[in-house]
Amino acid sequence: MTQPDLNHANPHAEAAVSVPPVASFREPEFLLSHIQDTLRFYAPNVLDPGGGFFHFFRDDGSIYDKTTRHLVSSCRYVFNYAMAYRQFGDPQHLEYARHGMRFLHDAHWDAQHEGYDWELEWRDGHKRVLDSTRHCYGLAFVLLAYSHAAMAGIEEAKPMIAATFELMEHRFWDAAAGLYADEASADWRVSSYRGQNANMHTTEALLTAYEATGHLVYLDRAERVASNITLRQAKLSQGLVWEHFHADWSVDWHYNEEDSSNIFRPWGFQPGHQTEWAKLLLILERHRPLPWLLPRAIELFDAAMTHAWDENHGGLYYGFGPDHTVCDHDKYFWVQAETFATAALLGKRTGNERFWDWYDEIWRYSWAHFVDHRYGAWYRILTCDNRKYSDEKSPAGKTDYHTMGACYEVLTHALADAPVESAR
Protein backbone atom coordinates (compact mmCIF):
# COMPACT_ATOMS: atom_id res chain seq x y z
CA MET A 1 0.00 0.00 0.00
CA THR A 2 1.31 3.44 -0.91
CA GLN A 3 2.47 5.42 2.09
CA PRO A 4 0.52 8.62 2.75
CA ASP A 5 1.96 12.05 2.17
CA LEU A 6 2.15 13.10 5.78
CA ASN A 7 2.29 16.75 4.76
CA HIS A 8 -1.34 16.33 3.83
CA ALA A 9 -2.16 13.41 6.06
CA ASN A 10 -4.83 14.97 8.23
CA PRO A 11 -7.96 16.25 6.46
CA HIS A 12 -8.20 18.96 9.14
CA ALA A 13 -4.50 19.77 9.40
CA GLU A 14 -4.63 23.37 8.10
CA ALA A 15 -6.68 24.49 11.05
CA ALA A 16 -9.30 22.26 12.52
CA VAL A 17 -12.68 22.74 10.88
CA SER A 18 -15.43 21.54 13.16
CA VAL A 19 -17.84 18.98 11.79
CA PRO A 20 -21.26 20.66 11.58
CA PRO A 21 -23.95 18.88 13.56
CA VAL A 22 -26.70 17.17 11.57
CA ALA A 23 -30.09 16.57 13.12
CA SER A 24 -30.89 13.69 10.75
CA PHE A 25 -29.24 12.32 7.64
CA ARG A 26 -32.67 11.16 6.55
CA GLU A 27 -34.06 14.66 5.99
CA PRO A 28 -34.47 15.71 2.34
CA GLU A 29 -33.25 19.20 3.25
CA PHE A 30 -29.93 17.77 4.41
CA LEU A 31 -29.33 15.90 1.15
CA LEU A 32 -30.42 18.82 -1.04
CA SER A 33 -28.14 21.18 0.87
CA HIS A 34 -25.25 18.73 0.53
CA ILE A 35 -25.74 18.48 -3.24
CA GLN A 36 -25.74 22.25 -3.51
CA ASP A 37 -22.61 22.54 -1.37
CA THR A 38 -20.88 20.02 -3.64
CA LEU A 39 -21.92 21.88 -6.80
CA ARG A 40 -20.57 25.08 -5.24
CA PHE A 41 -17.14 23.50 -4.83
CA TYR A 42 -16.86 23.04 -8.61
CA ALA A 43 -18.76 26.14 -9.69
CA PRO A 44 -16.04 28.83 -9.70
CA ASN A 45 -13.50 27.01 -11.86
CA VAL A 46 -15.08 23.99 -13.54
CA LEU A 47 -16.13 25.47 -16.90
CA ASP A 48 -13.60 25.80 -19.69
CA PRO A 49 -15.14 28.31 -22.11
CA GLY A 50 -12.94 26.82 -24.83
CA GLY A 51 -14.62 23.45 -24.48
CA GLY A 52 -15.74 21.03 -21.80
CA PHE A 53 -14.72 21.22 -18.18
CA PHE A 54 -11.55 21.09 -16.16
CA HIS A 55 -10.84 17.70 -14.60
CA PHE A 56 -8.22 18.15 -11.87
CA PHE A 57 -9.03 19.96 -8.60
CA ARG A 58 -7.11 20.38 -5.39
CA ASP A 59 -8.87 20.54 -2.04
CA ASP A 60 -9.38 24.30 -2.28
CA GLY A 61 -10.91 24.09 -5.76
CA SER A 62 -7.80 25.27 -7.63
CA ILE A 63 -6.95 23.46 -10.87
CA TYR A 64 -3.66 21.62 -11.17
CA ASP A 65 -3.95 20.29 -14.75
CA LYS A 66 -5.82 22.45 -17.26
CA THR A 67 -5.34 20.41 -20.41
CA THR A 68 -5.97 16.71 -19.74
CA ARG A 69 -9.50 15.54 -20.46
CA HIS A 70 -10.72 12.06 -19.54
CA LEU A 71 -13.77 10.48 -21.16
CA VAL A 72 -15.22 9.34 -17.83
CA SER A 73 -15.09 12.81 -16.25
CA SER A 74 -16.45 14.41 -19.43
CA CYS A 75 -19.48 12.12 -19.22
CA ARG A 76 -19.97 12.44 -15.48
CA TYR A 77 -20.09 16.23 -15.66
CA VAL A 78 -23.02 15.93 -18.07
CA PHE A 79 -24.75 13.74 -15.49
CA ASN A 80 -23.96 16.26 -12.72
CA TYR A 81 -25.45 19.24 -14.50
CA ALA A 82 -28.38 17.45 -16.12
CA MET A 83 -29.44 16.13 -12.72
CA ALA A 84 -28.86 19.49 -11.06
CA TYR A 85 -31.06 21.22 -13.64
CA ARG A 86 -33.86 18.70 -13.14
CA GLN A 87 -33.67 19.08 -9.36
CA PHE A 88 -33.11 22.81 -8.95
CA GLY A 89 -34.20 24.35 -12.27
CA ASP A 90 -31.19 26.64 -12.67
CA PRO A 91 -30.83 27.39 -16.42
CA GLN A 92 -27.06 27.68 -16.02
CA HIS A 93 -26.96 23.99 -15.09
CA LEU A 94 -28.82 23.16 -18.30
CA GLU A 95 -26.34 25.20 -20.32
CA TYR A 96 -23.46 23.43 -18.59
CA ALA A 97 -25.00 20.06 -19.47
CA ARG A 98 -25.28 21.17 -23.12
CA HIS A 99 -21.72 22.51 -23.04
CA GLY A 100 -20.46 19.18 -21.70
CA MET A 101 -22.44 17.17 -24.20
CA ARG A 102 -21.02 19.19 -27.10
CA PHE A 103 -17.48 18.47 -25.91
CA LEU A 104 -18.26 14.79 -25.56
CA HIS A 105 -19.78 14.62 -29.03
CA ASP A 106 -17.26 16.84 -30.82
CA ALA A 107 -13.93 16.45 -29.02
CA HIS A 108 -13.93 12.89 -27.68
CA TRP A 109 -15.48 11.40 -30.82
CA ASP A 110 -13.05 9.95 -33.37
CA ALA A 111 -14.92 10.16 -36.67
CA GLN A 112 -12.32 8.12 -38.57
CA HIS A 113 -12.55 5.05 -36.36
CA GLU A 114 -16.02 5.77 -34.98
CA GLY A 115 -15.18 5.59 -31.30
CA TYR A 116 -14.74 7.80 -28.26
CA ASP A 117 -11.17 8.62 -27.29
CA TRP A 118 -10.30 7.78 -23.70
CA GLU A 119 -7.97 10.69 -22.92
CA LEU A 120 -7.18 13.98 -24.65
CA GLU A 121 -4.93 16.97 -24.33
CA TRP A 122 -7.07 20.05 -24.95
CA ARG A 123 -5.36 23.37 -25.69
CA ASP A 124 -6.91 26.49 -27.19
CA GLY A 125 -9.80 24.60 -28.71
CA HIS A 126 -7.63 21.89 -30.27
CA LYS A 127 -7.20 18.30 -29.18
CA ARG A 128 -4.30 15.90 -29.19
CA VAL A 129 -5.23 12.32 -28.45
CA LEU A 130 -3.30 10.90 -25.50
CA ASP A 131 -5.05 7.52 -25.34
CA SER A 132 -7.38 6.23 -28.04
CA THR A 133 -8.16 2.91 -26.37
CA ARG A 134 -11.83 1.99 -26.68
CA HIS A 135 -13.29 1.04 -23.31
CA CYS A 136 -16.77 -0.40 -22.87
CA TYR A 137 -16.67 1.25 -19.43
CA GLY A 138 -16.25 4.58 -21.21
CA LEU A 139 -19.10 3.90 -23.63
CA ALA A 140 -21.33 3.02 -20.68
CA PHE A 141 -20.80 6.53 -19.36
CA VAL A 142 -21.36 8.02 -22.82
CA LEU A 143 -24.73 6.25 -22.88
CA LEU A 144 -25.46 7.44 -19.34
CA ALA A 145 -24.57 11.03 -20.24
CA TYR A 146 -26.79 11.16 -23.32
CA SER A 147 -29.66 9.55 -21.41
CA HIS A 148 -29.49 12.08 -18.60
CA ALA A 149 -29.11 14.95 -21.06
CA ALA A 150 -32.25 13.76 -22.84
CA MET A 151 -34.19 13.60 -19.57
CA ALA A 152 -33.09 17.18 -18.87
CA GLY A 153 -34.77 18.20 -22.14
CA ILE A 154 -31.74 18.40 -24.44
CA GLU A 155 -33.33 17.20 -27.67
CA GLU A 156 -30.10 16.58 -29.57
CA ALA A 157 -29.13 13.97 -26.98
CA LYS A 158 -32.05 11.70 -27.78
CA PRO A 159 -30.80 10.16 -31.06
CA MET A 160 -27.38 9.65 -29.45
CA ILE A 161 -28.86 7.14 -26.99
CA ALA A 162 -29.68 4.65 -29.74
CA ALA A 163 -26.49 5.46 -31.64
CA THR A 164 -24.33 4.70 -28.59
CA PHE A 165 -26.22 1.50 -27.81
CA GLU A 166 -25.72 0.34 -31.41
CA LEU A 167 -22.01 1.14 -31.23
CA MET A 168 -21.70 -0.98 -28.09
CA GLU A 169 -23.76 -3.71 -29.73
CA HIS A 170 -21.54 -3.75 -32.79
CA ARG A 171 -18.18 -3.56 -31.04
CA PHE A 172 -18.46 -5.10 -27.59
CA TRP A 173 -21.57 -7.29 -27.25
CA ASP A 174 -20.76 -10.99 -26.82
CA ALA A 175 -24.07 -12.62 -27.67
CA ALA A 176 -22.95 -16.10 -26.68
CA ALA A 177 -21.96 -14.98 -23.19
CA GLY A 178 -24.76 -12.44 -22.86
CA LEU A 179 -22.21 -9.89 -21.65
CA TYR A 180 -20.02 -7.10 -22.98
CA ALA A 181 -16.34 -7.38 -23.81
CA ASP A 182 -14.16 -4.75 -22.22
CA GLU A 183 -11.47 -3.09 -24.29
CA ALA A 184 -10.33 -2.57 -27.87
CA SER A 185 -7.60 -0.75 -29.74
CA ALA A 186 -8.30 2.49 -31.59
CA ASP A 187 -9.17 0.48 -34.71
CA TRP A 188 -11.41 -1.87 -32.70
CA ARG A 189 -9.32 -4.97 -32.15
CA VAL A 190 -10.96 -6.37 -29.03
CA SER A 191 -8.68 -7.67 -26.28
CA SER A 192 -9.12 -10.97 -24.46
CA TYR A 193 -9.71 -9.33 -21.07
CA ARG A 194 -13.24 -9.52 -19.74
CA GLY A 195 -14.47 -7.63 -16.68
CA GLN A 196 -17.58 -7.12 -14.65
CA ASN A 197 -17.06 -3.38 -14.06
CA ALA A 198 -17.89 -2.40 -17.63
CA ASN A 199 -20.97 -4.61 -17.47
CA MET A 200 -22.09 -3.10 -14.18
CA HIS A 201 -21.90 0.48 -15.45
CA THR A 202 -23.48 -0.59 -18.73
CA THR A 203 -26.39 -1.95 -16.71
CA GLU A 204 -26.65 1.40 -14.94
CA ALA A 205 -26.63 3.19 -18.30
CA LEU A 206 -29.16 0.79 -19.85
CA LEU A 207 -31.59 1.35 -16.98
CA THR A 208 -31.19 5.10 -17.47
CA ALA A 209 -31.67 4.77 -21.23
CA TYR A 210 -34.90 2.90 -20.56
CA GLU A 211 -36.06 5.63 -18.19
CA ALA A 212 -35.21 8.26 -20.82
CA THR A 213 -36.93 6.52 -23.74
CA GLY A 214 -39.31 3.84 -22.49
CA HIS A 215 -37.80 1.45 -25.03
CA LEU A 216 -37.85 -2.12 -23.73
CA VAL A 217 -34.71 -3.14 -25.59
CA TYR A 218 -32.67 -1.32 -22.93
CA LEU A 219 -34.56 -2.86 -20.00
CA ASP A 220 -34.33 -6.34 -21.51
CA ARG A 221 -30.60 -5.98 -21.96
CA ALA A 222 -30.13 -4.59 -18.43
CA GLU A 223 -31.94 -7.59 -16.99
CA ARG A 224 -29.86 -10.01 -19.02
CA VAL A 225 -26.52 -8.49 -18.06
CA ALA A 226 -27.52 -8.15 -14.40
CA SER A 227 -28.59 -11.77 -14.10
CA ASN A 228 -25.54 -13.05 -15.94
CA ILE A 229 -23.12 -11.18 -13.68
CA THR A 230 -24.84 -11.40 -10.30
CA LEU A 231 -26.20 -14.94 -10.67
CA ARG A 232 -24.36 -16.98 -13.29
CA GLN A 233 -20.87 -15.49 -13.02
CA ALA A 234 -21.11 -15.06 -9.25
CA LYS A 235 -21.68 -18.81 -8.90
CA LEU A 236 -18.12 -19.23 -10.18
CA SER A 237 -16.72 -16.97 -7.45
CA GLN A 238 -18.20 -17.92 -4.06
CA GLY A 239 -21.55 -16.28 -4.76
CA LEU A 240 -20.03 -12.80 -4.95
CA VAL A 241 -19.16 -10.56 -7.90
CA TRP A 242 -15.51 -11.02 -8.93
CA GLU A 243 -13.90 -8.40 -11.16
CA HIS A 244 -11.82 -10.23 -13.77
CA PHE A 245 -12.40 -12.97 -16.32
CA HIS A 246 -10.76 -14.70 -19.25
CA ALA A 247 -12.12 -14.41 -22.80
CA ASP A 248 -14.36 -17.45 -22.20
CA TRP A 249 -15.74 -15.80 -19.03
CA SER A 250 -14.00 -18.21 -16.69
CA VAL A 251 -12.74 -16.52 -13.52
CA ASP A 252 -9.28 -15.00 -13.65
CA TRP A 253 -8.26 -15.12 -10.00
CA HIS A 254 -4.81 -13.66 -10.64
CA TYR A 255 -5.37 -10.62 -12.88
CA ASN A 256 -3.73 -7.59 -11.20
CA GLU A 257 -3.02 -9.74 -8.15
CA GLU A 258 -0.24 -7.33 -7.18
CA ASP A 259 -2.40 -4.26 -7.81
CA SER A 260 -5.35 -4.22 -5.42
CA SER A 261 -5.69 -0.43 -5.75
CA ASN A 262 -5.86 -0.18 -9.55
CA ILE A 263 -8.35 2.59 -10.32
CA PHE A 264 -10.44 0.66 -12.85
CA ARG A 265 -9.29 -2.97 -12.48
CA PRO A 266 -8.33 -3.75 -8.88
CA TRP A 267 -7.69 -7.27 -7.69
CA GLY A 268 -10.00 -8.73 -5.06
CA PHE A 269 -13.67 -8.56 -4.30
CA GLN A 270 -14.79 -4.93 -4.32
CA PRO A 271 -17.23 -4.23 -1.46
CA GLY A 272 -18.37 -1.11 -3.30
CA HIS A 273 -19.26 -3.17 -6.34
CA GLN A 274 -21.26 -5.68 -4.30
CA THR A 275 -23.35 -2.81 -2.94
CA GLU A 276 -23.48 -0.97 -6.25
CA TRP A 277 -24.84 -4.10 -7.93
CA ALA A 278 -27.37 -4.40 -5.10
CA LYS A 279 -28.51 -0.85 -5.87
CA LEU A 280 -28.85 -1.64 -9.58
CA LEU A 281 -30.88 -4.78 -8.82
CA LEU A 282 -33.29 -2.68 -6.79
CA ILE A 283 -33.57 -0.14 -9.62
CA LEU A 284 -34.22 -3.00 -12.06
CA GLU A 285 -36.91 -4.31 -9.70
CA ARG A 286 -38.79 -0.99 -9.94
CA HIS A 287 -39.30 -1.59 -13.62
CA ARG A 288 -39.44 -5.39 -13.66
CA PRO A 289 -40.37 -6.95 -10.28
CA LEU A 290 -38.66 -10.33 -10.62
CA PRO A 291 -38.61 -12.44 -7.45
CA TRP A 292 -34.84 -12.98 -7.34
CA LEU A 293 -33.81 -9.34 -7.35
CA LEU A 294 -34.48 -8.29 -3.74
CA PRO A 295 -33.00 -11.42 -2.07
CA ARG A 296 -29.89 -11.16 -4.23
CA ALA A 297 -29.50 -7.46 -3.44
CA ILE A 298 -29.68 -8.21 0.28
CA GLU A 299 -27.07 -10.99 -0.06
CA LEU A 300 -24.61 -8.74 -1.86
CA PHE A 301 -25.11 -5.85 0.55
CA ASP A 302 -24.75 -8.06 3.62
CA ALA A 303 -21.58 -9.67 2.27
CA ALA A 304 -19.96 -6.27 1.78
CA MET A 305 -20.84 -5.11 5.27
CA THR A 306 -19.75 -8.40 6.86
CA HIS A 307 -16.34 -8.58 5.21
CA ALA A 308 -15.39 -4.93 4.68
CA TRP A 309 -16.69 -2.70 7.48
CA ASP A 310 -13.85 -1.37 9.62
CA GLU A 311 -14.95 -1.82 13.23
CA ASN A 312 -12.03 0.23 14.54
CA HIS A 313 -11.93 3.33 12.33
CA GLY A 314 -15.28 3.18 10.55
CA GLY A 315 -15.98 3.03 6.84
CA LEU A 316 -15.72 0.29 4.26
CA TYR A 317 -12.38 -1.05 3.10
CA TYR A 318 -11.59 -1.05 -0.61
CA GLY A 319 -11.08 -4.76 -1.23
CA PHE A 320 -10.96 -8.26 0.23
CA GLY A 321 -9.55 -11.47 -1.17
CA PRO A 322 -11.11 -14.87 -1.88
CA ASP A 323 -10.26 -15.88 1.71
CA HIS A 324 -12.23 -12.83 2.91
CA THR A 325 -9.20 -11.11 4.41
CA VAL A 326 -8.88 -7.42 3.58
CA CYS A 327 -6.39 -6.88 0.73
CA ASP A 328 -6.68 -3.09 0.51
CA HIS A 329 -7.35 -1.20 3.73
CA ASP A 330 -7.83 2.22 2.13
CA LYS A 331 -11.17 3.99 2.23
CA TYR A 332 -12.56 5.34 -1.05
CA PHE A 333 -15.26 7.98 -1.24
CA TRP A 334 -17.37 6.22 -3.85
CA VAL A 335 -17.59 3.00 -1.85
CA GLN A 336 -19.19 4.82 1.08
CA ALA A 337 -21.55 6.78 -1.19
CA GLU A 338 -22.83 3.81 -3.19
CA THR A 339 -23.32 1.85 0.01
CA PHE A 340 -25.36 4.48 1.87
CA ALA A 341 -27.60 4.77 -1.20
CA THR A 342 -28.13 1.02 -1.26
CA ALA A 343 -28.76 0.87 2.48
CA ALA A 344 -31.50 3.50 2.14
CA LEU A 345 -33.12 1.73 -0.82
CA LEU A 346 -33.11 -1.56 1.10
CA GLY A 347 -34.52 0.16 4.16
CA LYS A 348 -37.33 1.64 2.10
CA ARG A 349 -37.99 -1.57 0.16
CA THR A 350 -37.98 -3.96 3.11
CA GLY A 351 -39.08 -1.77 5.99
CA ASN A 352 -36.22 -3.27 7.98
CA GLU A 353 -34.62 -0.70 10.27
CA ARG A 354 -31.24 -2.46 10.19
CA PHE A 355 -30.63 -1.07 6.71
CA TRP A 356 -31.50 2.44 7.86
CA ASP A 357 -29.11 1.97 10.77
CA TRP A 358 -26.36 1.24 8.25
CA TYR A 359 -27.38 4.31 6.23
CA ASP A 360 -27.01 6.49 9.32
CA GLU A 361 -23.72 4.85 10.33
CA ILE A 362 -22.12 5.28 6.90
CA TRP A 363 -23.25 8.90 6.75
CA ARG A 364 -21.90 9.61 10.25
CA TYR A 365 -18.54 8.21 9.22
CA SER A 366 -18.48 10.00 5.85
CA TRP A 367 -19.65 13.32 7.31
CA ALA A 368 -16.86 13.19 9.89
CA HIS A 369 -14.03 12.06 7.60
CA PHE A 370 -14.78 12.35 3.86
CA VAL A 371 -16.79 15.54 3.47
CA ASP A 372 -14.62 18.66 3.28
CA HIS A 373 -16.41 21.15 5.53
CA ARG A 374 -14.04 23.94 4.58
CA TYR A 375 -14.22 23.92 0.78
CA GLY A 376 -16.94 21.39 -0.08
CA ALA A 377 -17.18 18.05 -1.89
CA TRP A 378 -15.60 14.77 -0.70
CA TYR A 379 -11.99 13.72 -0.35
CA ARG A 380 -11.22 10.89 -2.76
CA ILE A 381 -9.23 8.42 -0.71
CA LEU A 382 -8.18 8.02 2.92
CA THR A 383 -5.90 5.66 4.76
CA CYS A 384 -7.30 2.95 6.98
CA ASP A 385 -7.25 5.39 9.90
CA ASN A 386 -8.80 8.20 7.87
CA ARG A 387 -5.82 10.34 6.86
CA LYS A 388 -5.55 11.92 3.42
CA TYR A 389 -2.89 10.89 0.93
CA SER A 390 -2.68 14.26 -0.81
CA ASP A 391 -4.57 17.47 -1.55
CA GLU A 392 -5.72 16.18 -4.95
CA LYS A 393 -9.42 16.04 -4.23
CA SER A 394 -10.80 15.45 -7.70
CA PRO A 395 -8.41 14.07 -10.32
CA ALA A 396 -9.72 12.72 -13.62
CA GLY A 397 -12.58 10.31 -13.04
CA LYS A 398 -13.87 12.01 -9.88
CA THR A 399 -16.54 14.66 -10.32
CA ASP A 400 -18.59 13.70 -7.24
CA TYR A 401 -21.00 11.95 -9.57
CA HIS A 402 -21.07 9.08 -7.06
CA THR A 403 -21.82 11.26 -4.04
CA MET A 404 -24.43 13.52 -5.64
CA GLY A 405 -25.94 10.57 -7.50
CA ALA A 406 -26.30 8.69 -4.23
CA CYS A 407 -28.06 11.68 -2.68
CA TYR A 408 -30.47 11.98 -5.61
CA GLU A 409 -31.24 8.25 -5.42
CA VAL A 410 -32.06 8.44 -1.72
CA LEU A 411 -34.10 11.61 -2.17
CA THR A 412 -36.18 10.26 -5.03
CA HIS A 413 -36.65 6.63 -4.10
CA ALA A 414 -35.98 6.07 -0.40
CA LEU A 415 -37.08 9.05 1.66
CA ALA A 416 -40.78 9.24 0.92
CA ASP A 417 -42.40 8.19 4.20
CA ALA A 418 -39.07 6.88 5.49
CA PRO A 419 -38.57 6.86 9.26
CA VAL A 420 -36.71 9.92 10.55
CA GLU A 421 -33.95 9.17 13.02
CA SER A 422 -31.62 11.48 14.89
CA ALA A 423 -28.08 11.60 13.48
CA ARG A 424 -26.79 11.36 17.07
Residues 281 and 181 in one domain: no
pLDDT at position 261, please? 75
Q: Which helix or strand (DSSP H or E) is residue 297 part of?
A: helix 293-308
Residues 93 and 232 in one domain: yes
Q: For residue 402, indicate whether it is catalytic.
A: yes
Residues 309 and 408 in one domain: yes
Q: Is residue 23 part of a domain?
A: no
Write the CA distances from 184 to 71, 117, 131, 195, 237, integer angstroms. 15, 11, 12, 13, 26
Residues 313 and 338 in one domain: yes
pLDDT at position 14, please? 53
Cα separation, 282 vs 370, in Å, equals: 26
Instruction: Determine the distance from the C-alpha atom of residue 295 to the mean position of all C-alpha atoms in its chain, rounded to a whole number.
Output: 23
Q: Is residue 20 part of a domain?
A: no
Is the pLDDT assigned to residue 4 strictly greater than 80? no
Residues 288 and 242 in one domain: no
Please, are residues 244 and 252 in contact by the beta-carbon 8 Å criterion? yes
pLDDT digits (tens, 9 = 90+) for 248-304: 999 999 998 887 777 778 899 999 999 999 999 999 999 999 999 999 999 999 999
Residues 344 and 400 in one domain: yes
Residues 302 and 367 in one domain: yes
Residues 157 and 198 in one domain: yes
* Domain boundary residue, one of 222, 252, 282: 252
* Domain boundary residue, one of 252, 284, 299: 252
Of the candidates 108, 273, 307, 369, the residue annotated as catalytic is 273
Residues 208 and 300 in one domain: no
Residues 116 and 241 in one domain: yes
pLDDT digits (tens, 9 = 90+) for 345-388: 999 999 999 999 999 999 999 999 999 999 999 999 999 999 99
Of the candidates 34, 99, 201, 402, the residue annotated as catalytic is 402
pLDDT at position 214, please? 98
Q: What is the mean pLDDT of the chain?
A: 94
The CATH number linked to 343 is 1.50.10.10
Q: Is residue 12 part of a domain?
A: no
Residues 235 and 288 in one domain: no
Q: Which domain holds residue 153?
A: 54-252
What is the total count of domains within the chain? 2
User: At 16, is the pLDDT very low, low, confident or very high (cuts 50, 70, 90)?
Assistant: confident
Residues 236 and 370 in one domain: no
* Domain boundary residue, one of 226, 252, 278: 252
